[in-house]
Structure 1
Amino acid sequence: MTAVGVQPSAVGRGDVVLRADGLSKRFGGLLAVQNVSFSQYDGEILAVIGPNGAGKTTLLNLLSGVYRPSSGRLHLLGRDVTQEPMEARCHAGLGRAFQIVRPFPEMTVHENVTVGALFGTRGTTLGQARERAYDLLERTGLAAHADKEAHELTLLQDKRLEVARALATQPRVLLLDEVMAGLRPGEAQEAVGLVRSVRDSGVSVLFIEHIMPVVRDLADRVVVMDQGQVLAEGTYHEVTANPQVVAAYLGTEEGLHA
């Protein structure tokens, strides 16, 4: 298993697009994330897994700018964004889709994605945003629902809308927070196909997930967290064979199929 290290920040196929160096976050006396370092490469799907309370969502909030780190640095596409707010990171190429989907319920599906397109790129006209939104609805399988109000969608369609809104900002790196949560097995497989298509379009993906078959099917590499720290990093087969990971998270062989 390879150790997590600091990589060059040049951008290109196989180069680093997102780099965390010693990120920590303290809430009063609680150290929720402690000295987390990893690199994500261009075109890579990277999974972050671990038990409840491991610090995964806090880490995602540090990456996206919801929280500022207590210490450490974050580089996006070679640029230090450690102290930059969420909107600046979005404009710099970082998108995020949330586990709890909150579209504008009385707006149409197309209008929801248009808002994302207007927000994500400076200088985008309304006409350009609408055109980009239609293209993304085609790519995410929502074109037939473009004129529906968002509250009419199913859970799977909601998840697709959340991804489409994030993609409308034209990210180079997309953060996904348990987007498979609540989906039936067949729906989860559809969502796996959607994430793969996002990567194939040139967007690197970092995702948090508890469903291990999804991690197995999607992830090029896996970062395992426990008690706010990186416990292990490697391929799916490397980390699931690591005794520390089994003890801290998977528990038994059955845990791999949960």
Structure 2
Amino acid sequence: MSGPSPDVVLRAQGLTKRFGGLLAVQNVSFTQYSGEVLAVIGPNGAGKTTLLNLLSGVYRPTSGRLELLGQDVTALSMEGRCHLGLGRAFQIVRPFPEMTVLENVTVGALFGQAGTRLPEARERAYELLERTGLAAHADKEAHELTLLQDKRLEVARALATRPRVLLLDEVMAGLRPAEAQEAVALVRSVRDSGISVLFIEHIMPVVRDLADRVVVMDQGQVLAEGTYREVTANPQVVAAYLGTETELQA
């Protein structure tokens, strides 16, 4: 990255996760910078979701170290990481179905920062509904939303916790092309608000359009790292995807 050295918001050093005899993630290291959109890609079974679970605190690593905003959070819980500024939106959206859209986001606002009062949380929740295009649906119960609206709600709930770094797990999955472009615009607006974004995605045009840098995983390890153009021109990456350079760069 050109210009003055940017601040590091997330640093993984030798992250490894073993499940019995299965080595799901092996010695993964990378650095994410303030304001950066970083994509993690790889074929099925590459270890991407396990890595995201290590970053968010769902799993503790077998070995390795993770720093968030300069602090060692390797042994910190999901809640502790959230309160420090790490948010996550999941691929499979699980809102509170019988609560309204506004109430769902309000819960996120109350959880994300200790001492937040209900009126303040509701105000922040409504601001986020406006920002994510859901204000007109504030009083609907969550089970009434479409898939695209569900995805927007998931992002709004994550943003309500006031993250400095936002993890996104295949939030484009299941969306039609036009809907995916709307979701891309939403992620860009998140980045433009000063939040660093790390996302897992298998739709390569989305990665091309969004990512400042790309980390490629294969068999639990980092295979390549660089710009989208650099990694998709890498013969090892092409071989891992069992595709062609043209397909990856589509």
TM-score band w.r.t. shorter chain:
over 0.9
Partner Cα distance (2:51, 2:94) in 1: 21
Q: Is the 1:13–1:43 Cα contact (8 Å) retained in structure 2? A: no
Q: Tell me the alpha carbon deviations over residues 44-77 of structure 1, each in whole angstroms, 9 at most, x when there is no partner.
A: 0000000000000000000000000000000000
Question: Is the contact between residue 16 and residue 77 of structure 1 (CA under 8 Å) also seen in structure 2?
Answer: yes
The answer for the alignment partner of 2:89 in structure 1 is: 97
Superposed displacement of residue 199, structure 1: 0.4
The partner residue of 1:157 within 140, 149, 171 is: 149
Which residue in the other structure is 2:229 paired with? 237
SS of 2:18's partner is: strand
The 5-angstrom pairing of residues 139-158 of structure 1 reads 139-158=131-150
Equivalent positions of 1:100-179 (< 5 A) are 100-179=92-171
- Is 2:75 aligned against 1:46? no
Residue aligning to 2:204: 212
**Match for 1:185 among 177, 182, 193?**
177
Aligned partner of 1:78 in structure 2 is 70
CA contact (8 A) 2:232 2:245 kept: no
Structure 1: runs of 5 or more not aligned: 3-11
Percent identity over the alignment is 87
Q: TM-score, normalised by structure 1?
A: 0.94
Structure 2, unaligned runs of 5 or more: none
- Partner residue, 1:9: none
What's the TM-score, normalizing by structure 2? 0.97
- Measure the CA separation in 2 of the matches of 1:102 and 1:226: 29
* SS at 1:192 equivalent: helix
**1:135 maps to amino acid:** E
Which amino acid counterpart does residue 111 of structure 1 have in structure 2?
A: E
Cα distance in 2 between the residues matched to 1:203 and 1:214? 18
User: 1-side partners of 2:245 and 2:233: how far apart?
Assistant: 10
State the Cα RMSD in Å: 1.4
- Moved beyond 3 Å, runs of 4+: none
Residues 1:33 and 2:25 are matched in the alignment: yes
